[in-house]
């Protein structure tokens, strides 16, 4: 059967029926790529894989949740959806709402979302409202509006989002033909770590021998690490705008995922995030967005701290949550500059050192 997206593929694990109208852009089925160069660079005794969620239709894992949220919104008769967004949720909501022919309203923190993400929301025809506040304030407004007016909230507190997003863990299990030992991921609003944990638990329940439970390793940016600090952060800051969130909606379930799996939620600095971002691009040929690199930054940090030293060879998966082309400015300001040369072979040869 041709691939038709995560709902068709994983129907039996999802809260849909034959009556649910399916709105899909054929999301999911993303590659799991072994990162041998990173492994070698770190002298890592084991296997590291990158789950490249940037290969989803709108360039981030948000599409897995959005196909569920929009399909269920249509099933319930909704004519409009709303979300607060650091960028990727709005890009995804706008695309799926366009496909479903319903209205989409997005609230974004003014000046804090990358140009690529903004371009997606506007070209798909969403009503984009920039508020003079941060993400957390935008989310409070979106919640309030959806509770008082006929408009469906499609942020990750919409339970169908988590249901869709858990399918990424299924795919990891199928690709490896077993579960990984460690699952590294960025943590922003914390829905995705909850979703992966749910997905791993589903497969573990179905086939406990084959699919064991990995440890969930979540990473927040140091300037916006409320779960690590133990309190909300009023003015979160980080270069990784997709995880620039001071009061995560799924805080509690993220802590449950951490504790049940004997994992950790830790923080990494912007420098560590940008280092990982460059290493992934320059050594593995994969361009992810800065927030995505938080997973690899966490893995690099833990490897350097000898965290895996006495455990024997392990399998590690790092999720790369979004595509690097969403935020080209961060790439250009953090890589070597292009050089100017005259129209002249000798000049070019001397510059490139042939």
Ligand X SMILES: *Cc1c(COP(=O)(O)O)cnc(C)c1O
Tokens of 181: 């030992």
Residue (276 or 308) nearer to ligand X, CB: 276
- CA atoms within a 13 Å half-sphere pointing along the CA-CB vector of 31: 8
Residue (107 or 291) nearer to ligand X, CB: 291
The distance of closest approach from Cβ of residue 212 to ligand X in the complex, given in angstroms and rounded to an integer, is 24
The distance of closest approach from Cβ of residue 195 to ligand X in the complex, given in angstroms and rounded to an integer, is 7
Residue (180 or 290) nearer to ligand X, CB: 290
Q: φ and ψ at 9, to 5 degrees? A: -70, -40
Residues sharing a CB contact under 8 Å with residue 240, sequence separation 6 or more, in sequence order: 186, 221, 270, 273, 289, 290, 291, 293, 294
Residue (153 or 243) nearer to ligand X, CB: 243
**Contact by Cβ (8 Å): 225, 187:** no
Residues sharing a CB contact under 8 Å with residue 94, sequence separation 6 or more, in sequence order: 104, 106, 120, 121, 122, 124, 125, 126
Distance, CA of 332 to CA of 346 (rounded, Å): 27
List of residues contacting ligand X (CB under 6 A): 60, 62, 88, 156, 186-192, 242-243, 289, 291-292, 321-322
Residue with smallest beta-carbon separation from ligand X: 322
Q: φ and ψ at 112, to 5 degrees? A: -115, 10
The distance of closest approach from Cβ of residue 313 to ligand X in the complex, given in angstroms and rounded to an integer, is 28
The distance of closest approach from Cβ of residue 347 to ligand X in the complex, given in angstroms and rounded to an integer, is 40
Residue (44 or 191) nearer to ligand X, CB: 191
The distance of closest approach from Cβ of residue 187 to ligand X in the complex, given in angstroms and rounded to an integer, is 5
């Amino acid at each position: 059967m041709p691939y038709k997206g995560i709902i068709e593929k994983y129907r039996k694990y999802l809260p849909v029926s034959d009556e649910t109208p399916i709105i899909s852009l054929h999301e999911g089925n993303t590659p799991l790529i072994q990162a041998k160069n990173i492994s070698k660079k770190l002298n890592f005794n084991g296997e590291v894989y990158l789950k490249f969620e940037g290969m989803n239709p709108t360039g981030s894992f948000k599409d897995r949740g959005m196909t569920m949220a929009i399909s269920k919104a249509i099933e319930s008769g909704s004519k409009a959806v709303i979300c607060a967004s650091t960028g990727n949720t709005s890009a995804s909501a706008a695309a799926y709402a366009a496909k479903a022919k319903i209205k989409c309203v997005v609230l974004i923190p003014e000046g804090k979302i990358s140009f690529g993400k903004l371009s997606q929301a506007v070209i798909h025809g969403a009503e984009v409202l920039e508020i003079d506040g941060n993400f957390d304030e935008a989310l409070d407004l979106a919640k309030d509006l959806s509770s008082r007016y006929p408009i469906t909230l499609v942020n990750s507190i919409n339970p169908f989002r988590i249901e869709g997003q858990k399918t990424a863990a299924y795919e990891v299990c199928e690709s490896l033909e077993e579960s990984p030992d460690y699952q590294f991921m960025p943590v922003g609003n914390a829905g995705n770590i909850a979703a992966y944990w749910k997905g791993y638990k589903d497969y573990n329940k179905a086939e406990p021998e084959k699919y064991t439970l990995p440890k969930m390793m979540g990473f927040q940016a140091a300037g916006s690490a409320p779960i690590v600090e133990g309190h909300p952060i009023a003015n979160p800051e980080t270069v990784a705008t997709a995880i620039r969130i001071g009061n995560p909606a799924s805080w509690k379930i993220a802590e449950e995922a951490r504790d049940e799996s004997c994992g950790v939620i830790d923080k990494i600095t912007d420098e560590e995030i940008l280092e990982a971002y460059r290493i992934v691009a320059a050594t593995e040929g994969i361009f992810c967005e800065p927030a995505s690199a938080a997973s690899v930054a966490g893995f690099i940090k833990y490897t350097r701290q000898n965290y895996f030293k006495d455990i024997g060879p392990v399998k590690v998966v790092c999720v790369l949550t979004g595509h690097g082309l969403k935020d080209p400015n961060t790439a250009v300001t953090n890589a070597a500059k292009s050089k100017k040369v005259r129209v002249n072979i000798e000049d070019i040869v001397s510059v490139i050192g042939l």
